[in-house]
Amino acid sequence: MKRTALVVLLVLVLGVASVSAQSYVVGLSVSTLNNPFFVDLKEGAEEAAAQLGLTLIATDAQNDANRQLSSVEDLISRGVNILVINPVDSSAIVPAIRAANKGGVPVITVDRGADGGTVVSHVASDNVAGGKMAGEFIVELLGGRGKVVELEGIPGTSAARDRGTGFNAAIASYGDIKVVAKQEAGFDRARGMSVMENILQAQPEINAVFAHNDEMALGALTAIRASGRDIIVVGFDATDDAVKAVEEGRMAATVAQKPREMGKIAVEAALKYLKGEEVPEYVPVDLALVKK
């Protein structure tokens, strides 16, 4: 009888724990799903939510800061217990985070940080270190001498700012390496191609390109191949298309992040926080340089 009672009690306890987990609703606001990196991030979050018995409501801001503000406000009104936000713009997201703070909804940021508001944890790679990794590899390939182009991500995002900071720090001590063009291409493949086409026309000598993400790098690669010129291209994110380009020798390298892992870790951190457990202010995700 005692053993039967213990089994019944254990089942009841597990049942209560399961119901408790399932009662939590996590709101996920992604900057854009028109980019395989953020699709992977969302899928990682969904997988973790399913494993942990959480309800996940995901929204796509389509790279529109105003749309993201509206979607976050909607998630708050729908009664989510916690928000995981991947900002379109690190500054423009601040009013949304403050609205969540005012409504008592905790916020975790992922991949890109926020310039204000209260955030309980930030899950991301060290983008400064990643930019430096890319810069050092380009310096190595060029032998400390050459002309380079930097394709920048969306202005105002922490990722673009930090990757650019790391890259420029890496090449700063090499006086024979010159940045001959630096232009924003919005983390977008089509814009990366068109911006690179214009730069190729304006700059007769280019030895290497560093793009703040793989989408721009792949766009730049298309423009370079069409021009018939031989230029080193290094990207950031290690998306499937970029890794394939590296394996085929079309791209020199890409800095590998782990977006699926980021999404997973962010959701796990969300549950820990909701359960009253301690969550670090910053959770780093490893980087690696993918090269042939």
Render pLDDT for 4-26 as a digit per residue (tens, 0 to 9): 444 434 444 444 444 344 589 99
Q: Are residues 218 and 240 in the same domain?
A: yes
Does one domain contain both 264 and 152?
Answer: no
DSSP states along 197-208 = HHHHHH-S---E
Q: Does residue 85 sit within a domain?
A: yes
91 and 142 together in one domain: no
CATH code of the domain containing 252: 3.40.50.2300
Question: Would 8 be classed as within a structural domain?
Answer: no
Q: Which long-range contacts (CB under 8 A, 24 or more apart) does 19-23 make?
A: 21/52, 21/53, 21/54, 21/271, 22/53, 22/54, 22/55
Q: Does 158 fall in a domain?
A: yes
Q: Quote the percentage of the chain above a pLDDT of 90.
A: 90
Whether residue 152 is contained in a domain is answered as yes
Name residue, tokens 């930019």. Answer: 131
- pLDDT in the model for residue 22: 54
Residue 204: pLDDT band (50, 70, 90) is: very high
User: Which residue pairs from 102-107 have beta carbons closer than 8 angstroms and sit at least 24 positions apart in sequence?
Assistant: 103/76, 105/27, 105/76, 105/80, 105/81, 106/82, 106/273, 106/274, 107/82, 107/83
Structural domain includes residue 3: no
The mean of the pLDDT values for the chain is: 93
Residues 252 and 131 occupy one common structural domain: yes
118 and 207 in a common domain: no
d(CA 49, CA 21): 10
Tell me the pTM. Answer: 0.80
Please tell me whether residues 136 and 239 are part of one structural domain: yes
If one counts the domains in the chain, the total is 2
Q: Provide the residue range defining the domain that includes 93.
A: 21-123+260-283
Q: Which two tokens stand for residue 244?
A: 């394939």
Residues 250, 146 share a domain: yes
Work out the pLDDT band at 226, boundaries 50, 70, 90.
Answer: very high
For residue 156, name the pLDDT band (cuts at 50, 70, 90).
confident
Residues 44 and 112 both lie in one domain: yes
Q: Is residue 292 part of a domain?
A: no
In a shared domain, residues 265 and 250:
no
Residues of the chain above pLDDT 70, percent? 92
